[in-house]
């Protein structure tokens, strides 16, 4: 993800200024009968013909500078449904600059969809914004939803769709952090990634008293089309039930289902590489996987010096997600970014996804403005031309999911040199939360640390209580020798039963 997109997501998430009451929305064209079957049929027909992108807006809009783009914003007092008793309000984003192709937004009511016309009067602007042409190519670049999250009659935003197939949500009281996508194609491949786009949205008009709203989307790209349905319930966590049906235009050997995108710059595993007053900088700190065998895996994220792709091969995964576990302000010492308040995102498959791999892509980054982490489910079998495949899953934007198993979570991972900085080995210290089976005393002889590395050597390790966390700390030496990389694995076991998450880490020189 580029610098500009991440900066825009921060800027566009800010609340709009006050203004006059909203008039009735402007529609264009004739109403269209709508159903999810109709949307799937449309995506199926499109897959049988060549890819046609949406038209671009006029050149003057695409030539806006960053400062000019920021000088126009949506007036949320003119949002859709603000003058009604409906439980959700909708705002829109203007196109231009990094959003050259508009989307089509349709409102569904009474089984019919009507297309919203672009309305420049819904936006406020400064005198720095130029006079630009408005023609039939104009449209919105995205939208956000607002609801009464904490206070009656105060509508706060909790969800944004904008850019390619990107969207992001927050639990009540949180700050925006990681994003999701409708689909990932060829992420990390040598020949480049393809970014499908949500080109048409069909949003069901909510009724008074509704807690959930429905959004449907048509996905289009050179190699695939798709029909998506989202059932969205704000709260903590914010829940999104997703169903997508994909129609390949060609064989798709590398597909990412339920892809997540986040930022990891540094923490206690790589702190020495960054001269920064803060102790950690990340939107997410670890990948959590509940695999088909019932194990709970914890993989701390890394910021590698070269592109790294990790595959956690599985059969019928039960869930995975990018977690933000450190929740104290002093975990980051950043009073502006509020990294402690960024959401975790947990994906639960609502069906048997079969064989494949939870895939983690880690991209080198030197600034926190870059999203450099991607995680998704990659089916083992390619999607073939002419086929169609449906996936359903649930997304929870908020904190940790309910524990899949009664095991102690990993609280933190620290990596660095020992007291003698000239030694070739690394010291790795893993903090686990407390667990009833750890007992209450200092006698930990019944607990066995299992430590392994596929390259290099590891010591037996030292297990002791950590008075700072109330749990246990395992510290061990890792000597990579001449290896440039190694896969490490740790778990604590008592009488043949694992008491902790399985800690995994890819160490690179």
Q: Which residues sit opposite 104 in a β-bridge?
A: 200
The string of pLDDT tens digits covering residues 187-221 is 999 889 999 999 999 999 999 999 999 999 999 99
φ/ψ of residue 94, rounded to 5 = -80, 160
Q: Residues 398-419: pLDDT tens digits?
A: 999 999 889 999 999 999 987 7
Residues 76-96 have a mean pLDDT of 96
pTM greater than 0.85: yes
pLDDT at 509: 86
DSSP-based three-state secondary structure for 114: strand
The whole-number pLDDT of residue 419 equals 74
Q: How far apart are CA 248 and CA 183, in angstroms?
A: 12
Burial class (CB in 10 A: 0-12, 13-18, 19+), 361: buried
Q: What distance lies between CA 257 and its chain's CA centroid?
A: 12
- How does residue 12 score in pLDDT terms, banded at 50, 70 and 90? very low
Binned at pLDDT 50, 70 and 90, residue 420 comes out as confident
**What is the distance between the alpha carbons of residues 312 and 303, in angstroms, rounded to a whole number?**
18
Can you spell out the DSSP letters for 423-458? -S-EEEEEEE---GGG-SSS--TTEEEEEEESSSEE
User: What secondary structure letter does DSSP report for 332?
Assistant: T
What sections of 74-233 are H helices per DSSP? Answer: none
Query: pLDDT for 138-170, tens place per residue?
Result: 999 999 999 999 999 999 999 999 999 999 999
Asked if residue 19 has pLDDT above 60, the reply is no
Residue 122, φ and ψ in degrees, nearest 5: -80, -5
Q: What is the DSSP string of 477-491?
A: EEE-TT-SEEEEEEE
pLDDT confidence of 15, banded at 50, 70, 90?
Answer: very low
């Amino acid at each position: 993800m580029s610098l500009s997109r991440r900066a825009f997501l921060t800027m566009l998430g800010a609340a709009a200024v006050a203004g006059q009451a909203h008039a009735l929305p402007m529609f264009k064209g004739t109403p269209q009968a709508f159903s999810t079957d109709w949307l799937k049929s449309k995506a199926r027909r499109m897959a049988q013909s060549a890819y046609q992108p949406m038209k671009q807006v006029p050149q003057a809009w695409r030539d806006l500078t960053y400062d000019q783009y920021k000088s126009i914003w949506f007036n949320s007092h003119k949002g859709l449904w603000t003058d009604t008793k409906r439980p959700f309000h909708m705002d829109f984003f203007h196109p231009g600059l990094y959003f050259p192709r508009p989307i089509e937004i349709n409102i569904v009511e009474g089984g019919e969809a009507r297309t919203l016309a672009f309305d420049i009067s819904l936006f406020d602007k400064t005198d720095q914004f130029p006079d630009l042409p408005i023609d039939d190519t104009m449209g919105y670049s995205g939208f956000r939803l607002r609801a009464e999250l904490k206070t009656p009659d105060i509508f706060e935003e909790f969800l944004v769709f904008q850019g390619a197939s990107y969207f992001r949500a927050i639990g009540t009281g949180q700050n925006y952090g990681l994003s999701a996508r409708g689909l990932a194609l060829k992420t990390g491949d040598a020949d480049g990634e393809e970014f499908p786009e949500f080109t048409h949205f069909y949003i069901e008009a909510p009724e008074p008293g509704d807690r959930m709203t429905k959004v449907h989307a048509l996905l289009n790209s050179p190699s695939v089309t798709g029909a998506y349905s989202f059932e969205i319930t704000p709260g903590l966590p914010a829940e999104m039930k997703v169903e997508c049906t994909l129609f390949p235009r060609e064989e798709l050997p590398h597909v990412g289902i339920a892809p997540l995108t986040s930022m990891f710059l540094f923490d206690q595993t790589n702190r020495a590489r960054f001269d920064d007053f803060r102790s950690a900088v990340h939107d997410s700190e670890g990948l959590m996987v509940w695999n088909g065998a019932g194990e709970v895996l914890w993989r701390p994220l890394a910021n590698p010096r070269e592109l790294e792709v990790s595959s956690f091969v599985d059969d019928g995964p039960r869930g995975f997600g990018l977690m933000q576990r450190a929740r104290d302000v002093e975990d980051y010492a950043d009073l502006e970014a509020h990294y402690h308040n960024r959401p975790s995102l947990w994906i639960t498959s609502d069906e048997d996804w079969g064989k494949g791999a939870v895939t983690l892509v880690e991209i080198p980054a030197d600034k926190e403005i870059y999203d450099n982490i991607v995680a998704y489910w990659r089916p083992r079998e390619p999607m073939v031309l002419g086929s169609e495949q449906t996936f359903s899953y649930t997304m929870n934007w908020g904190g940790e999911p309910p524990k899949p198993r009664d095991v102690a979570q990993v609280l933190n991972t620290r990596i660095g040199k020992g007291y003698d900085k000239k030694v070739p080995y690394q010291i790795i210290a893993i903090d686990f939360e407390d667990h009833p089976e750890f007992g209450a005393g200092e006698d930990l002889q019944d607990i066995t640390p299992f430590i392994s590395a596929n390259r290099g050597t590891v010591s037996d390790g030292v297990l002791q209580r950590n008075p700072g966390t109330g749990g246990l700390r395992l510290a061990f030496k890792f000597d990579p020798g001449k290896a440039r990389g190694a896969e490490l694995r740790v778990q604590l076991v008592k009488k043949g039963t694992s008491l902790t998450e399985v800690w995994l880490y890819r160490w690179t020189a």
